[in-house]
Structure 1
Amino acid sequence: MLTHLALKDFAVVQSAELAFGPGLTVISGETGAGKSLLVDALGLLSGLRADSGVVRHGASRAELVAEFSLADAQPATDWLRENALDEDGDDGRHCQVRRVVRADGGSRTWINGRPVTVGQLAELASHLVEIHGQHEHQALLSRPSQLALLDAYARNDAERRAVAEAAGRWSDLLAERERLTAQGDVSDRIGWLEHQHAELERETLDADSLAQLSIDHRRSAHAAGLLEACERAFAVMDGDEGPSITRALRQARDTLQRVAEHEPRLNEVDTMLDNAAIQLDEAAVLLDRIRGDLDLDPQALEALEQRMGRLHELARKHRVTPEQLAAKRDEIATELEALRGADERLQGLDADIAAATRAWQAAAEVLGATRRDAARRLSSDTSALIAELGMGGGAFDVVLEVLETVRPDPQGAERVEFMVAANPGQPPRPLRKVASGGELSRISLAIEVAALGLDAVPTMVFDEVDSGIGGAVADIVGQKLRALGERRQVLCVTHLPQVAAQGHAHYRVSKSASDGVTQSEVQALGAKQRQDELARMLGGVEMTREARAAARRLLSDAG
């Protein structure tokens, strides 16, 4: 819902700020005062093309700001979140859009203080504001919008989801078949992969085996040096090359034990020497075992080097490290399995695609039935309302066009066109081709009232919807707008007192001249001011007692 609109140096408006609430807000004023400027401002904030003509004479730029409450606009909240434009710390409850148009014709746009493109602004605005006026940008002139309104009227969310899911399933299967078909004859590929897999399978590629291979190779390659080092160590420990370390430790302990009674700390030294002797004995045992394991075997070394050479060659071939060969082997095995089942899968896919097509057709038929029923009811209700709105003999028809396609469409098997005959005897024509702006506005109002504002857009704007009517029809137009305001926020620019009296809130636009420059001002009207404004609309410049009495009666009847 629109809560605030601020204009600065926009056309003939120097500065204006308007607050809006729920229900019907009417905007009135003398001819030429600039009533429709508010609609034009919302149009620019909805992404319409801007030019330098909207900048007030003598100003460098025009600035427009609108603030919305998103409590009744979940699609807008979702769009903001998806585009990372939601307001931090606000739980997504509010949104601000801003546009600046420079005197040279350029413009910039922001959403929640972040720069965006005009296209993004238009996308967001499509979830927030719907303008019904005498211009081409009306939402109901768009066939996708017409289909969305018909579906909302039919309340067929579950049926539309079923159709979209069936179409998505069909598309996924078709893409899989195209991918498999694009591979062509895979027999050569299978043979090549089988050869590669066999090469890798002949090798032990787990991490522990590769680590042990590296250890074995280093030991075998340095066996001579290891044996020599072990022999020399034994010689030193046994005393073959000088005093024995073990014998020297024993003699040191004997010497200290004879005098230890005189110095207790020597007992600690004796314990340490005893532990050292034990460690020497254990070291000698392990050294002897290692010496026994060492073998100067050139053939064993050659076998190890050959195996390492094969691994490095395979790693180069597959452009991986030796440690990644196991993963490569598994990857090849997975591809082989997929390729071997490709022919069988292709045959199965044909059956699956046919089944998915039938499922979509069944779901689309159910959806189409809801649309046909809703089209009949909406056509009847809207035609009746068109007659009430002063277009007697006019007719409205929702025409469903069956698509000539074999491809399941996520939106269903038909498209919609709103057709209208504005006068008796005229052939129905598409709504988007209706020439009269006033008729177009009233038809749009009739459609929205008939649909009870079921489309998701929370704010509807009607510009001069009462053009060319008066009397009892004006009363009906006002009543219908007020009824629509019970379901949606409605803004209406009007010149009829019967319509203005139905508003829950009322703004007056007036113009004045200062230093030869025309300016427009916007004022929120209180109860007394509303009565005066309605009297002016009824009686002209001079407000008679009769006009005031009629104004009071209009307000009383509306209340």
Structure 2
Amino acid sequence: MLRALEIRDMLIIDRLELAFQPGLNVLTGETGAGKSILLDALGFVLGWRGRAELVRAGAEQGEVVAEFELGADHAARAVLEEAGLPSEDMLILRRVNTKDGRKTAWVNDRRCSGEVLRQLSDTLLELHGQHDDRGLLNPRGHRQLLDQYAGAGDALEAVRKAWRARGQAAKALEQAEAELAEVRAEEDFLRHAVDELSKLAPEAGEEEALDTARRRMQSAEKIREDISRAHQALSEGAEGAMSDALRWLEGASDRAEGGVDAPISALERAMVELGEAVSGVEACLDGLNFDAHELEATEERLFAIRALARKHQVGPDQLPELAETLGDRLARLDRGADDVEALRAALRHAEAGYDTAAFALSDLRKGAASGLDAAVTGELQPLKMERAVFHTEITEAEPGPEGRDAVAFTVATNPGAPAGPLNKIASGGELSRFLLALKVCLTGEDASRTMIFDEIDRGVGGATADAVGRRLKALAAGGQVLVVTHSPQVAALGAHHWQVAKRVDGEVTTSTVTPLDSEAREDEIARMLAGDTVTSEARAAARALLHG
């Protein structure tokens, strides 16, 4: 619940500190005193979109701090955890607005976005303002209210899950049918291309190897003659001459007294090197031997690979990958009909699952609708609308993630009068009472959120206003309700009372909020009864309201 609200330099508020309490808190004051400014400030710190100009004239920035007390299982804790923010028993929200429009927010002294504030707001506070019965007037919100009353969370989640599965199955089928149609459109090309690639069976790196072999064979004739001459010179002339020289030197070595030992060693080494050179030349000659048909076959395959690569606009080394890709597409074509039929069966299964979940939710809604109608009708009696009839109308709608039901609240305010939409049948005061009755029925045991009612008692007075006040008091039991009111009957039933007043000091206008004790409450309620001139009769009536 909301424990404290501190406002600095916002609109006509200089500095204001409020400490709220559990139960029914009422705020009263003259029209224009600034009661709505409090709500604007509270909405600002909660990230609501509101007025653009909030900073008080002459101030550099405005600031609002709100403190909320959280229970152990409060829904705000999940939002904090998801946002990576600290979760403590006291939640402190702070937001600053500079005069140039920049806004900065903190949650428990950690920077956060306005979106996080709005998510927290949904768990912390519920505002019903002077024109906020649009939630009742807009049938799009009626289904959500009925689901809240029915406790349909699990059933609704089952429908949403089934709707997602249905959508995924439909998308998979659509994609498969489109792919099959696309592949069928190029079936002739695929079969020809796969057959052509399969027959040629190119390998990665093959084009480069074939090109190298082709160039080697083409140049072989040009260099073979010179290499043959070199082989002849080495094996016949050079080898013979060196052998003769070595033999002669070895014959003379005994008489040369060591003078030819070094030349002999050098020749022996040269003979070894010469042998290696001859072997290398012979190997080269062997490598230059080829069949003319081999060159022709190499060129034919090389040209075929290059032509196929140009045809498919890929590199020669990419042909094996292309063959695999086209083969897969052809395989999908061959098995495509079976795949599509399987996906159609999956879609039928998903649709059946959705129908089962949606019909179960519909049954739950129809059962809850009768209970809600009876509960709201029961709540209307103490609100002096005992002859009004509230009815929840459920009709079939287009299937969606929240089922296939359209829900609308209809009313008949007088016996015999036809039922119709709230906004066409109920007056402003009646709308407020319908809203209050509905809120009493929907709140139940949930007191985790602070509820704020901004002049929900407008258009009513006397005994009806007293009945509204008593329902607000009952709604606040075990929780917290803040009411901005002009009704003395409602104000008298509050557990805590604040007076909002506007003060003009020279050229400066400021708004103040003062907590009222018993005596001051009597004065304020007397003012609300009598107007500017408070009479003894008004004070007596105020005392009667406070103690009656």
Q: Deviations over 1:432-479 (max 9, x none)?
A: 446644332332221111012689994432112233556776565445
Q: Is 1:419 aligned to residue 413 of structure 2?
A: no
Structure 1's 143 and 292: CA in aligned 2 closer, same or farther, altered over 3 A?
A: farther
Query: Offset of 1:497 from its aligned partner?
Result: 6.0
The alignment status of 1:466 with 2:466, answered yes or no, reads no
Match of 2:376 in 1: 382
- Structure 1 unmatched runs, 5+: 248-277, 555-559
- Kept in 1: contact 2:500–2:512 (CA 8 A): yes
CA contact (8 A) 1:392 1:423 kept: no
C-alpha distance 65-348 of structure 1, shift in aligned 2 (>3 A): same
**Relative to 1, partners in 2 of residues 1:413 and 1:97: Cα closer, same or farther, differing over 3 Å?**
farther
Distance 1:536 1:164, change over 3 A: same
Q: Using the alignment, how far apart are the partners of 2:280 and 2:21 within structure 1?
A: 92
Q: 1:315·1:325 contact (CA, 8 Å) conserved in 2?
A: yes
Q: In terms of mean alpha carbon deviation, does 446-455 or 194-203 score higher? A: 446-455
Query: What SS is found at the alignment partner of 1:397?
Result: strand
Distance 1:155 1:315, change over 3 A: farther
Shift in Å, 1:506: 4.6
* Corresponding residue for residue 535 of structure 1: 522
Residues 221, 518 of structure 1: CA spacing in aligned structure 2 closer, same or farther, 3 A cutoff?
same
Specify every segment of 5 or more residues in structure 2 that has no aligned partner in the other structure, as ranges.
247-271, 528-533
Distance 1:99 1:152, change over 3 A: farther
Q: Residues of 2 paired with 1:395 and 1:234: CA distance? A: 123
In 1, the alpha carbon distance for the partners of 2:543 and 2:273 equals: 120
Tell me the CA shift for residue 345 of structure 1.
4.6
Letter aligned with residue 26 of structure 2? V
CA distance in 1, matches of 2:447, 2:236: 97
Judge conservation of contact 2:4–2:17 (CA < 8 Å) in 1.
yes
Cα pair 2:24 2:472 within 8 Å, conserved: yes
* TM-score for both structures, normalised by structure 2: 0.71
1:13 lines up with 2:7 in the alignment: no
From 212, 216, 219, give the equivalent of 1:222.
216
Secondary structure of the residue aligned to 1:380 is helix
- Correspondence for 1:192: 189
Structure ID, larger Rg? 2
How far did residue 377 of structure 1 move?
0.8
Q: What letter is aligned with 2:518?
A: Q
Please say if residues 183 and 329 of structure 2, whose CA atoms lie closer than 8 Å, have aligned partners that are also in contact. Answer: no
Change (3 A) 1:412 1:132: same
* Cα distance between partner residues in 1 of 2:274 and 2:495: 103
Q: Using the alignment, how far apart are the partners of 2:16 and 2:102 within structure 1?
A: 20
The whole-number CA distance in structure 2 between the counterparts of 1:74 and 1:288 is 90
Q: Which residue of 2 aligns with 1:364?
A: 358
Aligned CA distance change for structure 1 residues 448 and 361 (closer, same or farther; 3 Å):
same
Is 1:33 equivalent to 2:37 in the alignment?
A: no
Q: In the aligned structure 1, how far is the partner of 2:344 from the partner of 2:317? A: 42
- Partner of residue 321 from structure 2, selected from 318, 327, 337: 327
Contact 2:491 2:525 in 1 (8 A): no
Residues 129-168 of structure 1 mapped to structure 2, 5 A cutoff? 129-136=125-132, 138-168=134-164
Contact 1:134 1:438 in 2 (8 A): no
CA distance in 2, matches of 1:127, 1:476: 28
Is the 1:76–1:128 Cα contact (8 Å) retained in structure 2? Answer: no
Q: 1:479 to 1:191 in 2, by over 3 A?
A: same
Structure 1 partner of 2:433 = 442
For residues 463 and 277 of structure 2, the distance between their equivalents in structure 1, rounded to whole angstroms, comes to: 116
C-alpha contact (below 8 Å) 2:493/2:546 kept by paired residues: no
Q: What is the RMSD of the two structures over their aligned residues, measured on CA atoms? A: 5.1
SS state of the match for residue 202, structure 1?
helix
1-structure distance, mates of 2:181, 2:493: 71
Report the Cα offset of residue 508 of structure 1: 3.0
**Could you say what secondary structure the match of 1:451 adopts?**
helix
- Counterpart in the other structure of 1:410: 401
Picking from 68, 71, 74, the partner of 1:72 is: 74
Question: 1:147-546 maps to which residues of 2 (within 5 A)?
Answer: 147-179=143-175, 187-205=184-202, 209-211=203-205, 214-215=208-209, 217-219=211-213, 221-222=215-216, 295-347=289-341, 352-403=346-397, 405=398, 408-433=399-424, 436-452=427-443, 458-469=449-460, 477-485=468-476, 489-496=480-487, 499-500=490-491, 506-515=497-506, 517-523=508-514, 525=515, 529-540=516-527
Worse-matched range after superposition: 485-494 or 384-393 = 485-494
1:37 aligned partner, one-letter code: I
In structure 2, do the counterparts of structure 1 residues 74 and 91 end up closer, same or farther at CA, with 3 Å as the change threshold? closer
Corresponding residue pairs, total: 500
Aligned-pair CA distance for 1:343: 4.0
AA in 2 matched with 1:399: E
Distance in 1 (CA, whole Å) between partners of 2:37 and 2:540 is 32
Q: Give the drift of 1:384.
A: 0.9
Which amino acid in the other structure matches residue 526 of structure 2? G
Counterpart of 2:149, as a letter, is: Y
1:73/1:127 contact within 8 Å kept? yes
Q: Percent of aligned positions with the same letter in both sequences?
A: 33
Which moves more between the two structures, 332-341 or 10-19?
A: 10-19
Once residues 95 and 326 of structure 1 are traced to their aligned partners in structure 2, the CA distance between those partners, rounded to angstroms, is 63
- SS of residue in 2 equivalent to 1:467: coil
Q: Which amino acid aligns with 1:340?
A: D
Say which SS state the counterpart of residue 36 (structure 1) adopts: helix
The Cα shift of 1:19 comes to: 5.6
Q: Match of 2:400, SS? A: coil
Deviations 1:102-157 (A, max 9, x none): 8xxxx66666667879xx99788666643213215743433333211211221222
Which 10-residue stretch deviates more, 484-493 or 375-384?
484-493
Decide whether aligned partners of structure 1 residues 191 and 367 sit closer, same or farther in structure 2, where only a CA change above 3 A counts. same
What is the CA-CA distance between 1:368 and the residue it aligns to? 0.5
- Deviating more after overlay: 448-457 vs 193-202: 448-457
Give the SS at the match of 1:466: coil
Bigger Cα displacement from structure 2, 328-337 vs 380-389: 328-337
SS in 1 for 2:517: helix
Task: State the alpha-carbon separation in 2 of the partners of residues 229 and 486 from structure 1.
Answer: 112
Name the CA distance, whole Å, in 2 between partners of 1:110 and 1:91: 20
